[in-house]
A and B are shown apart, each in its own frame.
Chain A
Amino acid sequence: MIFSLVNISLIIGILLVLAGIWAAITQKNIIKIIIGFSLFDTGIHIIMVALGYVKNNTAPILDSENLRTGTADKIVDPIPQALVLTAIVIGLGVTALMLVYALKMYREKKSLNINSFKDLKW
């Protein structure tokens, strides 16, 4: 089997996603769980950008003269990049929201351990 750049990036992305899921499931500290979610985000973004890569092509910026003719054979796919661009910014907003909510939860129970929040269990 011959590895290429895309295969390696996909494997890195998958491992980061699994690390994020692992952190979110097994860790007890709420801050650690949020860190797990942000690792999950990074992994998903790497997978999405890697799926849009086209072999030996350059960035989708039609800047120099030679890119302006026969463009479609020389650039990578711009659509996943545009998606990931907005997804990163939304990811920051959602992470900040989770952190502030963790602050609220800390105010209720004076603890960051997820095991002390049992109000919905019966």
Chain B
Amino acid sequence: MILRNSLLFLLLIAFAAIIISLFSTNYSEAEQLGIVAKHYAENAKAEVGAPNLVSAVVVTYRGLDTLGEVVILFLTAAIIGFMLKSKHSVNNSDKRIKGSEILETAANALVPIIILFGSYIFINGHLSPGGGFQGGAVIASAFVLLVMAKANAKLSHKIISFTESVSGFSFVIIGVLGIILAAGFLDNTFLPLGKYGSIISAGAIPIIYIFIGLKVGSELTSIVNNLKESQNIEI
């Protein structure tokens, strides 16, 4: 075992030495953008109308990848819910220690503010750093705080899955509207582009990001909620 580990260690060290020498001497950072990135930088204002180029790439230029990514996240959330489902009935006697008073008061004050901040992040996703994924994660962390502070807080599975399915469905519907009214799937120009840099602009990007944010937020919340509810069940 020790022999195997030391052999592996030597192998990894050799690998590291080769790659680090390649990276540190022969590689220097690029002086200018590649062709595709240059196209995006020069034409994004006219084609998409979003100042944040990362949002433009995520939602419009590579929107199909984002759809696939959201589907993968949905699948993982569904598999986790399926695996954590137990045959035993839920043990109702809640043995969890209550959160301290400081934690509960702070949760009461902070949860609405964190949710507001999360929605700010994904509504402004096309103007400033941020977007649906970050906003959804922030909203999910607000629900984590709620679930941790209050021992008997129960999040409704129905509301979570309703939000998730409605926002996912609307995401696809907006993509199909792009085929019908504009150039292709997930094209955002079927709505007017508006004034560059204002909050209602960039066509359908803010709407798509709101739906992505709701979907990611409800999926991550459902993962955490499933894990929390399984704490009292015998594994």
Contact = CB atoms under 8 A, between A and B. Distances in A.
A and B touch in the complex (CB under 8 A): yes
B42 A22 contact: no
Question: Contact residue range for chain A?
Answer: 35 or more
Interface string B19-31: 1100111011111
A60 B52 contact: yes
The interface residues of chain B, by DSSP majority, are classed as helix
Contacts of A112: none
Contacts of A100: 79-80, 83-84, 227
A119 interface: no
Interface stretch (B8-16, B92-100, B146-154, B175-183): B8-16
B53 interface: yes
A55 B31 contact: yes
B128 interface: yes
A78 B53 contact: yes
Contact of B37 (A63, A78, A94): A78
Question: Contact residue range for chain B?
Answer: 35 or more
Contact of B23 (A14, A53, A86): A14
B12 A22 contact: yes
Contact of A61 (B53, B58, B235): B53
The interface residues of chain A, by DSSP majority, are classed as helix
A107 B137 CA distance: 30
Interface string B39-75: 0111011000001111011100010011001001100
A15 interface: yes
Given A25-B8, A107-B235, A54 B24 contact: no
B34 A77 contact: yes
22 contacts: A1-B24, A6-B28, A7-B27, A10-B27, A14-B20, A15-B16, A53-B29, A55-B29, A60-B54, A62-B45, A62-B51, A63-B127, A63-B128, A78-B37, A79-B37, A85-B133, A89-B137, A90-B69, A90-B72, A97-B80, A100-B80, A103-B83
Given A71-B45, A100-B84, 12 more contacts: A5-B29, A6-B28, A7-B23, A7-B27, A18-B15, A54-B31, A61-B128, A62-B51, A77-B30, A86-B58, A93-B223, A104-B83
Interface of B: 5, 8-9, 12, 15-16, 19-20, 23-25, 27-34, 36-38, 40-42, 44-45, 51-54, 56-58, 62, 65-66, 69, 72-73, 76-77, 79-80, 83-84, 127-129, 131, 133, 137, 197, 216, 220, 223, 227, 235
